[in-house]
Amino acid sequence: MNSAVSERRRIVALLLLLPVFCLSAFSQVGERRSDFSLGVNGGVNLAKMDFSPTIKQNYLTTPVFGLSARYVCEKYFSTICAVQVELNYTQAGWDEKIIDGSGNTYKRTLDYVQLPMLMQLGWGKEQRGMKFIFTAGPVLQYLIGNTEKKGGGVWNPDNRPNNVVYQYSNKPDFNIDYGIMAGAGVELSTSIGHFLLEGRYYFGLGDIYDNSKKGYFERSANQVITGKLTYLFDMNKKKQ
């Protein structure tokens, strides 16, 4: 295992513990909460891959949707502290920008079951009204399918820049992907539930292709910008 992979795994391990550390620190002096909510989420991804050697790309537009659960446990001064977990279906991948004169087009779509484990901090109205929210934490996802689309007439990859063509004939080597996610947005709390509108960014720490000495790519990681709407309804709301 190379040093880069080991370092990424150490980062993920620390991020997995980040929500626990933060909430433990807040709980020493904060006002306790015990508010549990369930709901659904959906949105749109703009996906690319971080390749080395590089490949020129356009953003690939894909869907994301799933289930959300949130536990609000503390209020520390004006900061409302919570943990939010999701189980999503999401698509990543890339859309190559081929400019070699062949007229070819190429898209690869990667289908994942995704598990974000996020710390959420909020500032504003707790009961009714608006508040600003910030979320961050680790993400694990498992590849369940991938689709490639070749177009633009006769397929001719002979003149690709830097002669990077390995991705055309090879499926991803790894099904498990991991990384970090962070984002910000607003939440509207009403009598019928909570509506969250967020922008998020996913930075992949794992690679989809083998990055060892025998592999072709030094790096092949997912990079995804997401716009997402979430609806949560309270299962219980207790204050102490």
Q: Name, in order, each residue with C-beta under 8 angstroms of 221's C-beta and a sequence gap of 6 or more.
A: 49, 50, 179, 203, 204, 205, 206, 207, 208
pLDDT at 88 over 90: yes
Q: pTM score, two decimals?
A: 0.87
In order of their start, the domains of the chain are 3-31+41-239 (2.40.160.20)
Smallest CA-to-CA distance from 73 within 104, 32, 38 is with 32
Q: Which helix (H) or strand (E) holds 18?
A: helix 3-27
Give, in degrees to the nearest 5, the angle at Cα 32 between 31 and 38. 130
Q: Write out pLDDT tens, residues 102-115.
A: 889 999 999 999 99
Instruction: Considering only the C-alpha atoms of the chain, give the largest distance between any 2 of them, rounded to a whole number of Å.
Output: 68
Percentage of the residues of the chain whose pLDDT score is greater than 70: 86
Burial of 6 (0-12, 13-18, 19+ CB in 10 A): exposed
Which residues, in sequence order, are bridge partners of residue 101? Answer: none
Q: Write out pLDDT tens, residues 180-214.
A: 999 999 999 999 999 999 999 999 999 999 988 88
Q: Write out pLDDT tens, residues 55-67.
A: 999 999 999 999 9
Q: Which three-class secondary structure state does DSSP give residue 52?
A: strand
